Amino acid sequence: MKKTAKKVTKRAATPAAKSAETPTETPTGKPTGKKAAPAAKKTTAAKKTTAAKKAAPAKKAAPSKSAAEKSAPAKKAAVTRKVKPADVVLPADTAVKADAAGKKAASVKKITVRPPGGESPTALVRRARRINRELAEVYPYAHPELDFENPFQLLVATVLSAQTTDLRVNQTTPALFARYPTPEDLAAADPEEVEQILRPCGFFRAKTRSVIGLSKSLVENFGGEVPGRLEDLVTLPGVGRKTAFVVLGNAYGRPGITVDTHFQRLVRRWRWTDETDPDKIEAAVGALFPKSEWTDLSHHVIWHGRRICHARKPACGACPIAPLCPAYGEGETDPEKARKLLKYEKGGFPGQRLNPPQAYLDAGGKPAPPLGAA
């Protein structure tokens, strides 16, 4: 175990040896419908084997390959994959404010990659994609951490998740959806009854207004169905771009980047962008990846933020992407101490979902307890 620790520390402490792609400056810094398809892909036998291997943080923190060996595939990719970041095209709706509600999505426009450090745009694209590939191996079972069975449940759960944990939402929504299973039911609900159910989520009065309001709008304007278009979703009360992309990406299989607090923190630590406005972060990061990867990328980044790269004390000494991270050292670098900071399945604890996907359970993940359980 000690050998492991030394390896990670050594690799990360010699940034020049990490990879030609890694900058050397000090950093400035849910299982339904179409989502089931990528999840199914990940649960192939080969992936399961990888998942089992990667699930143990100690193993990931103790890669058998040297830094030089690790960087070999990246160099190969640099030769065989032509990356033209400046030509990356994003839909215009990823670069505009939510005031686009009701307007038609404009035609596509180009977003130029602008690295915040001295890295070239091409090197940044390659490094960013490599981090995402590594995270895909660390979290092959990554998924939305809200329990839901249909787009309506995901929409409501996402609205409720503001200012609280997904765990608390998952512990609250079973009672809500048992009492009000459809938009019609919730639209006609007595607000006081709903408030009592939502009380554990915090801000329960405002959240009650939002979920009843959005249910009324679904009934009145969308035939009781959750719309599958960004410009329609953001017209619903309490629904912004972040919530809309969660629904589009996970209930409708339409790619979207979810810029939550974890995503904002990590992409700045990795120097993917120095933007602070969520819409600009979304556009800047979107320019680094093919659109088809946006939803899974969001899961990978958010999962890493929740488990390893915490806000106050990132577990750098147990971080599998330490050699690629310009912010290595911002947190605990001692491998033993860092391992104690790991959360959820990486720390051997229950996850946030009461009903997680099978791939998560297969990888050793545990379901969350219901509300009130010890």
Say whether residue 169 binds ligand SF4 (CB under 6 A).
no
Among 314, 351, 357, 365, binds ligand SF4 (CB under 6 A): 314
Rounded CA separation 337/61 (Å):
13
Say whether residue 155 binds ligand SF4 (CB under 6 A).
no
- Non-local (6+) Cβ contacts of 333 within 8 A are 9, 12, 316, 317
Q: Of 55-63, 64-72, 155-163, 324-332, which part binds ligand SF4 (CB under 6 A)? A: 324-332
Among 124, 325, 354, 363, binds ligand SF4 (CB under 6 A): 325
The answer to whether the CB of 245 falls within 8 A of the CB of 257 is yes
Say whether residue 368 binds ligand SF4 (CB under 6 A).
no
Say whether residue 138 binds ligand SF4 (CB under 6 A).
no
Say whether residue 61 binds ligand SF4 (CB under 6 A).
no
- Residue of 70, 216, 260, 362 marked active site: 260
The answer to whether the CB of 307 falls within 8 A of the CB of 344 is yes
Distances (CA, A) of 243 to 42, 175, 358: 25, 22, 25
Rounded CA separation 362/358 (Å):
6
Among 85, 238, 331, 365, binds ligand SF4 (CB under 6 A): 331
The answer to whether the CB of 104 falls within 8 A of the CB of 96 is no
Distances (CA, A) of 278 to 176, 265, 267: 30, 11, 11
Among 328, 342, 345, 365, binds ligand SF4 (CB under 6 A): 328
Burial of 14 (C-beta count, 10 Å sphere; 0-12/13-18/19+): exposed
Smaller CB separation from ligand SF4, 125 or 322 = 322
Say whether residue 316 binds ligand SF4 (CB under 6 A).
yes
Closest-CA residue to 352 (of 297, 296, 303, 298) = 303
Q: Is 147 a catalytic residue?
A: no
Q: Of 72-80, 134-142, 276-284, 318-326, which part binds ligand SF4 (CB under 6 A)? A: 318-326
Least separation in angstroms between CB 309 and ligand SF4 = 3
Strands, E assignment, 40-117: 89-90, 109-110
Say whether residue 321 binds ligand SF4 (CB under 6 A).
yes
- Residue of 35, 242, 296, 346 marked active site: 242
Q: Of 104-112, 182-190, 239-247, 307-315, which part binds ligand SF4 (CB under 6 A)? A: 307-315
Q: Is 242 a catalytic residue?
A: yes
Say whether residue 29 binds ligand SF4 (CB under 6 A).
no
Helix (H, G, I), strand (E, B) or coil at 110: strand
Using CB under 6 A as the binding rule, the residues of this chain from 251 to 280 that contact ligand SF4 are 269
Rounded CA separation 110/88 (Å):
6
Q: Which residues bind ligand SF4 (CB under 6 A)?
A: 269, 308-309, 314-316, 319, 321-322, 325, 327-328, 330-331
Question: Which residues are tagged catalytic?
Answer: 242, 260
